[in-house]
Amino acid sequence: MTLTEIQQLRDVLGKLHSVWSRYDGDWHHKRAEGVVEFHYPNWFESGGTYEKYVTVEPTVGIYSYIFGESRWHEFDSLSDAIVAVKRWAKEYCSLLQEDYNLCPECGREFNNHTEVCMVGELMR
Ligand SMILES: [Zn+2]
**Taking a C-beta distance cutoff of 8 angstroms, is the pair 38, 9 a contact?**
no
Nearest 5°: phi and psi at 13? -60, -40
pLDDT digits (tens, 9 = 90+) for 62-92: 999 999 999 999 999 999 999 999 999 999 9
Q: What is the mean pLDDT of residues 115-122?
A: 88
**CA of 11 relative to ligand 1 center, distance in Å:** 17
**CA of 96 relative to ligand 1 center, distance in Å:** 11
**Taking a C-beta distance cutoff of 8 angstroms, is the pair 20, 12 a contact?**
no
Per-residue pLDDT band for 30 (boundaries 50, 70, 90) equals confident
Residue 2 pLDDT: 83
Residues with CB under 5 A from ligand 1 (ion): 103, 105-106, 113, 117, 119-120
pLDDT digits (tens, 9 = 90+) for 38-68: 999 999 999 999 999 999 999 999 999 999 9
Domain count, the chain: 1
The mean predicted confidence, pLDDT, of the chain is 93
* Strand segments (E) across 19-108: 36-39, 59-63, 72-75
**CA of 119 relative to ligand 1 center, distance in Å:** 5
> Would you say residue 4 has pLDDT above 90?
yes
**CA of 122 relative to ligand 1 center, distance in Å:** 10
Residue 112 pLDDT: 83
Nearest 5°: phi and psi at 48? 75, 20
Amino acid at 98: E
Residue ranges making up the domain that contains 56: 3-123
**CA of 20 relative to ligand 1 center, distance in Å:** 14
**CA of 56 relative to ligand 1 center, distance in Å:** 39
